[in-house]
Chain A
Amino acid sequence: MKFKVNSKEVFASTGGRPFDKKKPLIIFIHGSGLSHITWVLQTRYFAFHGYSVLAIDLPGHGYSEGPALESIEEQGNWISDVIDSVGMQEASLVGHSQGCLVVIECASQFPDKIKSIGLMGGAGAIPMNPELLDLAEKGDPKAVDLMMDWAHGPSGHFGGHPVPGLHHMNLGGSIVVNGSVKNALGVDFRACDNYKNGFEAAKKIKCPTLNILGDRDRMCPVKEGKKLADNIEGSQVEIIENCGHMILLEEAGKSLEILKKFIRKNHPTE
């Protein structure tokens, strides 16, 4: 669906069901340069099981009006504005990669609005490889190839997508390329690299928190994910074997099962 946030048009997938204010809200926040498409194997389940779902395109990504927001802090504030704009009081947030930084920033700044948070492939800080950052800021598509290489574990490189016929790396790469390497991916990478408040933000989070990590994640390795979890009170950690950074697609089924139990327990439907 399309709606306005701060006078700018925003697109969000509602998981195939109409948005309904009477149902508990889950907002899914994608990673660097990506879009709502990455969440398709999570959103449809929740949308058809009693939740209102918004898999948003961050500003300047997918079908949302730009420009991209340049800092994680701005993106965290913007998520709070999304909740207001759709007329809701609270939401659970689920993030992937950069989306995790946005989630922890939002949850630390607006604790009354956030019911629970799920983090996939998260870390307290995501410093960027300088060469990769430079390529992305120049709009060089090689940045996408490098990102897809590093982001995927064995199944991404060999095959075995949970949805028959889909190709992990080419699908991921096309989402980024269909947007803007320079104006979305480049801005996102710089925002991640600049963000230093992750661990401080994490300490302020009081809502139930789930960390899903892939043991073959080269972008946000398990030890970094655990370090973040250690800074969030009562944080739950789940590690999926043979899985890279693209947990939400590489191990869509396993990650959905973990997320289902967590959300149902901490943000139940009536």
Chain B
Amino acid sequence: MDPKTYKFDTISLHGGYMPSKNAGSRQVPIYQTTSYLFDDVDHAAALFNLEQGGHIYSRISNPTVQVLEERVAALEGGTAALATASGMSAIFLAIMTLCNTGDHVVVSSQLYGGTVNLFRLTLPKFGIKATFVKPRDTEGFKKAIQENTKCIFGELVGNPGNELMNMPEIVKIAHNAGIPVIIDSTYQTPYLFKPLEHGADIVVHSLTKWMAGHGSSMAGILVEGGKFDWLKTDKFPTMTEPYEGYHGLSFAEEFGPVAFTMKARAEGMRDMGPCLSPQNAWNVLQGIETLSVRMEKHCSNALKMVEYLSNHESVAWVSHASLKDNPDYELAKTLLPKGTGSMIAFGIEGGKEAGAAFIDNVKLASHLANVGDTRTLVIHPASATHSQMDEATLKLANMSHDMIRLSVGIEDIDDIINDFEDGFRAAKKPRLIANK
């Protein structure tokens, strides 16, 4: 006897949506509206007071966006989700929902550059400080926790160096300290890894990347695991104490396993408003429909690229957890059995100059500040995505000037390799001239 609940591929297509409640429309309708009619004054009051569910204003919620939220919650195994305008706004919203002025967070040092700057420069302006810990330094996460620490934040596979954090062990450390773990799972998508199944409490995504795949739309999301007991300690007054903004509501008492999402929506979307447009929600839904088939191809192409790069004379080093000599190989085999993802970091012989020549001479691979597109993407992080980081922060993130970040697409692998050959040939030229 087994439950007959829908499985991953089916949820990717159908999750969160019932045509019978939408005029029989097989495709999810785009509710391009700002606001929603109230039945009467009592109905309006009940919605504003969270006495009943429903839509008020599209900054807070929208029926098209709701489909996306339920679909991603279902794919991640979460109790609830809240979509946002971008992955960065999802992270900001998560931290602002948990923290007050004077609070502290422990953060992996290998993160997307924008996230590093959020923790390093922007959040301190709100009185929220961060301690950065190298992703492989599991004990370092424990040592960095302070009395006022409110969470541990990280990416399972760090951007751009591809170093893994031992998430299950770090979850134990966090929970022993009575704090939740927030994982940015953009690189993995729930197809490769479900952080909530490994004990994380909140997942964030930039849906702009592999989840959508098409590179056409910005979107982010928070997903709640529903198992963290906010009431167990007095560490989280923002979740447990009466909230003046809703007539003394205690989110944890009233909403239990969805308290975080309810607070993030009721307070965060109301006051900060980083809402996702229904059109972009719909665009992302189109991508999610094919998530499994795309991720399979991304991963198989990535393995072929790892092999190609590892044997190339112009490549100094390759970082991808599928490599047997990678320090994260065993951990990746355990946590990522379906594949270690399509992000590869490699160093080019000749350093920064060669890297620039390589990037300027590939034609199929696109040079841009995005990852997770169906198309192959390359960038030189030290001069682009992570350029606003100082030398010390770059060093903490284990980033070198010869590093090229590659997001492997789903084109024919032979075409990607041929394109890279052109890039490597061009990268050699300045050195040859210099040697003369």
Contact = CB atoms under 8 A, between A and B. Distances in A.
Interface string B1-13: 1111110000000
A253 B53 contact: yes
Nearest to B15: A159
B49 interface: yes
A69 interface: no
Contacts of B74: 159, 167, 170
Interface in B37-78: 46, 49-55, 60-63, 65-67, 69-71, 73-74, 77-78
Given A131-B1, A167-B74, A174-B226, A158 B18 contact: yes
Given A149-B4, A149-B5, A159 B16 contact: yes
Contacts of B78: 167, 170
B234 interface: no
Contacts of A40: 254-255
Given A16-B254, A148-B3, A165-B81, A171 B226 contact: yes
A169 B11 CA distance: 13
Interface of A is mostly: helix
A164 B265 contact: yes
A45 interface: yes
A86 interface: no
A131 B231 CA distance: 34
A178 B256 contact: yes
Contacts of B231: 63
B257 A158 contact: no
Contact of A166 (B4, B20, B80, B254): B80
A163 B17 CA distance: 14
Given A160-B16, A178-B256, A170 B73 contact: yes
Which of A48, A131, A163, A169: most chain B CB closer than 10 A? A163
B5 A169 contact: yes
B229 interface: yes
Contacts of A71: none
Contacts of B143: none
A146 interface: yes
Contacts of B80: 165-167, 171
B316 to A, nearest CB: 46
A239 interface: no
A133 to B, nearest CB: 12
B82 A165 contact: yes
Interface in A29-74: 35, 37, 40-41, 44-45, 48, 62-63
B256 A35 contact: yes
B227 interface: yes
B21 interface: yes
Interface residues of B, number: 59
B253 interface: yes
Given A149-B4, A166-B258, A256 B52 contact: yes
Interface string B67-102: 101110110011111110000000000000000000
B324 interface: no
B52 A242 contact: no
A116 interface: no
B21 A160 contact: yes
B220 to A, nearest CB: 13
A154 interface: yes
Contact of B50 (A44, A167, A174): A44
A257 to B, nearest CB: 9
B229 A174 contact: no
Contacts of A165: 61, 66, 69-70, 73, 80-83, 261, 265
Given A165-B70, A165-B82, A256-B52, A160 B227 contact: no
Given A169-B5, A178-B227, A158 B51 contact: no
B323 interface: no
Contact of A158 (B15, B229, B261): B15
A112 interface: no
B247 interface: yes
B270 interface: no
Contacts of B83: 165
A158 to B, nearest CB: 5
Nearest to A39: B254
Interface residues of A, number: 44
A177 interface: yes
Nearest to B229: A178
A37 B247 contact: no
Contacts of A237: none
Nearest to A35: B256
A189 B67 CA distance: 34
Given A13-B254, A37-B255, A170-B77, A164 B61 contact: yes
A146 B3 contact: yes
Interface in A229-267: 242, 252-253, 256
Interface in B206-258: 225-227, 229, 231, 246-250, 253-258
Given A167-B81, A178-B257, A242-B20, A161 B226 contact: no
A171 B249 CA distance: 20
Nearest to A38: B256
A189 to B, nearest CB: 15
A35 B66 CA distance: 25
B73 A146 contact: no
A150 to B, nearest CB: 8
Contacts of A158: 6, 14-18
Contacts of A131: 1
Closest 10 CB pairs of A and B: A162-B53, A159-B16, A163-B53, A174-B226, A164-B61, A149-B3, A37-B256, A167-B73, A159-B70, A44-B51
Given A158-B6, A164-B55, 12 more contacts: A16-B250, A41-B53, A44-B49, A44-B52, A158-B14, A163-B262, A164-B54, A169-B5, A170-B74, A171-B258, A174-B79, A174-B257
Interface of B: 1-6, 14-18, 20-21, 46, 49-55, 60-63, 65-67, 69-71, 73-74, 77-83, 225-227, 229, 231, 246-250, 253-258, 261-262, 265
12 contacts: A16-B247, A40-B254, A44-B51, A45-B52, A149-B5, A155-B18, A157-B6, A159-B71, A162-B54, A165-B69, A165-B81, A174-B225
